[in-house]
Amino acid sequence: MTHAEQTQKIAAGKGFIAALDQSGGSTPKALKGYGIEEGAWSSDEEMFGLIHAMRARIISSPVFTGEKVIGAILFERTMDGTIDGQPVPAVLNAKGVVPFIKIDKGLENEADGVQMMKPITGLGELLARSKALGVFGTKERSVINSANAAGIAAVVKQQFEVANEVLAAGLMPIIEPEVNIKSETRAECDALLLKEILGALDALPKGVQVMLKLSLPQVPGTFDPLVAHPGVLRVVALSGGYKRPEACVELAKNAGIIASFSRALLEDLRAQMTDAEFDAALGGAIDEIYTGSTVKSVPVAA
């Protein structure tokens, strides 16, 4: 796909974005969920080899296509890897699935109710390499745990600073200030976050767009102004710890927002499955998330 084709697919495509970007710290948990216990590898290289094999199996599955999966977010090692001798981003583009790359390096310790991103070393080189491989955009995650106005303002400021670097490199940033769905002040977090993001979007130059990846709001429809904002290419939602059925129900309550699920997509997949069992389980998950992304329980604005 050309960059223009990728942009059109993400802006208007029916479907959702798969999050296949578990990184070093979360990889053992992801492998355990896949049925591979921690003693199955003796080095980080073997561990990353196992997670790459899992992702390659997903991407290679005949049910994983651009018909319902419009994009996929990759971990850096996955982006740099191959499937059947072809670079992973090229395999995705050939299937009609737009590739993104996770660029954050993890989270700082909590302060002011939030966890900011750690400094992203070597960002310029990573962005240039990603673009050369046919990657369309990036994803960068922060976490909001409580309704602290100063903390949430700082998170959004940092996110948009990184987004501007991504835009300057010719890539599309997915800004992800995740609200912890277990927060006791979740609705207040959503409201503060909405205010800060709208302010940052209004400050963007005319014609410039970003993407947003947000926790499903406690009050459905809270993020409608972001869906409608001219500075937003697409709003996607993370599952945030919800199991897939509940995540899809909550997703369907929010018009114009599509999924970008990780655990909720992968939760039924096991390494021990036959290919037929694996494809059936993956296909069922894709269908359920696609429906939550495209069939809404609220009217979709014309």
Give CA–CA dist 170/44, Å, rounded: 32
Question: Phi and psi for 237 in degrees, rounded to 5?
Answer: -120, 140
Of 140, 176, 178, 288, the active-site residue reads 176
Are the C-beta atoms of 201 and 232 separated by less than 8 Å? yes
Rounded distance, CA 65 to CA 92, Å? Answer: 8
Pairing between strand 114-115 and 137-144? antiparallel
Residue in 95, 139, 213, 250 annotated catalytic: 213
Catalytic annotation present for 125: no
Q: Please name which of 62, 34, 58 lies closest in space to residue 47, comparing C-alpha atoms.
A: 34
Under 8 Å CB-to-CB from 54, ≥6 apart: which residues?
30, 31, 34, 269, 271
Nearest alpha carbon to residue 265 among 290, 286, 238: 286
Specify which residues 237 forms β-bridges with.
Answer: 214, 259
253 counts as catalytic: no
Q: Please list the active-site residues.
A: 176, 213
